[in-house]
Chains A and B, each alone.
Chain A
Amino acid sequence: MHEWALADAVVATAARQAEGRDPSVPLRVTVLIGELQAIDRDIFSFALRTLAGECSLPADFFRLQTEPAAFRCRACARQWGLDGQAGLTDEEREAIHFLPESAHAFLRCPACGSLDFAVEKGRGVRLAEAGQ
């Protein structure tokens, strides 16, 4: 599953961040999951727990938070979200899941039809913060 590759990257990054920290201070990492990439949250969460265990990170090390996708048209400044993009086929959604930038091949501004838009939020997986 594609989710495992992303989880592997998240755990490797977080494990590096955790290195050298005071072990008595619990560290937790928030993982933002962009809505556009449509990660399977259950698979991703399971992969994170499994891989975290292999790195001796606690099972609750990661907090998952979904970030809604937000688009802005560079031509007409219209802003919209994924709910305004009905009509994507399953295969197009799957393509975007694998490679979010392929959205530029399939999506258009709902107001002016431009393909020149920015994904302002909710693209893919990011580590939001590291703290207590």
Chain B
Amino acid sequence: MSDPRPAGVLRRLAGVGRIIAFCAAKGGVGKSFCAAAAGVSLARAGRAVGLLDLDLSSAAAHLFLGVPLRLPDEDRGILPLPVVEGLSLMSAAAFTRERGLALRGAEVSDAIVELLCATQWGRKDALLIDMPPGIGEEVLDLARLVPGLEAVVVSTPSEVSVRVVARLLAVLEDIRVPVAGVLANMVRHGAASVRALAASRGAAFAGEVPWDPGVEGALGDAEAIARLESTRAVGEALAAILAEPRRA
């Protein structure tokens, strides 16, 4: 008995330039915002970008970007939902809407493989993946299935976040997923702790994203998200990452 879908995953991603997973060790550090903001910002800069929300049980990218949920169209696979010019989104929420989705580990893996095998991304400069918090099936499955995977690790300057992110960075190193950058989010009084963390692990510091009280008011409006100061900071960080070759 064999699973044919991993071969399909490779074929579906063949037209994608860079594949970057936004990872965080704990919830609440703004990882989903950073992934969504990066997508909008890069798209507005003329890049073709896909956004894949792999936080299966707590999908939120569509909430940030105001994407109406509906079953995807089909064309030799399923087509991501359009967000704005240059940006499209695939999310389990397209299928489950606002219902809860409680999955066990093997089921999470199956769902990830299915989404990766069936989604036709076409030509994209970058596929950004909004990961669930923590170190679990999603990280391991992507490392197994997606050649060329990179990670952007998001942390707030909080000591709690920094200390658990250190474990995540160690795991990413162990499973040979290069870290394109460590991004400091929700920064109020400097991000020295995140800079030090990145330096201690030999990772690049990707930049500081300021604490932005405007995010809540921009929810559900991709154009409003695009105008935020925090989005500008995320976009600059990602543009710099994409301007450099993938780290080995």
Least CB separation from A30: chain B residue:
B1
B110 contacts the other chain (Cβ, under 8 Å)?
A: yes
Task: Provide the bound-state CA to CA distance between A98 and B95, in Å.
Answer: 8
B234 contacts the other chain (Cβ, under 8 Å)?
A: no
Supposing A2-B118, A5-B77, A6-B118 touch, asked if A105 and B99 sit within 8 A by C-beta, the answer is: yes
Q: In whole Å, how far is A53's beta carbon from the nearest beta carbon of chain B?
A: 16
Most buried by B among A10, A94, A101: A101
B189 contacts the other chain (Cβ, under 8 Å)?
A: no
- A91-B4 in contact (CB<8A): no
Chain B residues 27 to 73 lying within 8 A of chain A, measured CB to CB, are: 56, 71-72
- A127-B1 in contact (CB<8A): yes
- A127-B8 in contact (CB<8A): no
Q: In whole Å, how far is B199's beta carbon from the nearest beta carbon of chain A?
A: 40
Least CB separation from B114: chain A residue:
A99
Q: Render A95-106 as a binary contact track against B, CB cut-off 8 A, 1 for contact.
A: 110111110111
Chain A residues 82 to 102 lying within 8 A of chain B, measured CB to CB, are: 91, 94-96, 98-102
- A9-B114 in contact (CB<8A): no
- B7-A126 in contact (CB<8A): no
B2 contacts the other chain (Cβ, under 8 Å)?
A: yes
B25 contacts the other chain (Cβ, under 8 Å)?
A: no
Q: Which residues of A contact B114 (CB under 8 A)?
A: 98-101, 124
Taking a contact as CB atoms closer than 8 A, the residue among A101, A118, A125 that contacts B111 in the complex is: A101
Supposing A2-B118, A126-B4 touch, asked if A102 and B72 sit within 8 A by C-beta, the answer is: no
B12 contacts the other chain (Cβ, under 8 Å)?
A: yes
Q: In whole Å, how far is A6's beta carbon from the nearest beta carbon of chain B?
A: 7
- A99-B117 in contact (CB<8A): no
Task: Provide the bound-state CA to CA distance between A103 and B108, in Å.
Answer: 12
- B1-A9 in contact (CB<8A): no
Chain A residues 55 to 106 lying within 8 A of chain B, measured CB to CB, are: 91, 94-96, 98-102, 104-106
- A9-B115 in contact (CB<8A): no
Supposing A5-B77, A5-B120, A116-B102 touch, asked if A99 and B95 sit within 8 A by C-beta, the answer is: yes
A and B contact pairs by CB, cutoff 8 A, 15 listed: A2-B118, A5-B78, A6-B8, A12-B4, A12-B7, A13-B4, A32-B1, A100-B114, A101-B107, A101-B110, A106-B99, A115-B100, A124-B114, A125-B4, A126-B1
**Apart from the given pairs A6-B4, A8-B8, 4 other A-B contacts in the complex at a CB distance below 8 Å:** A5-B78, A101-B110, A123-B110, A127-B4
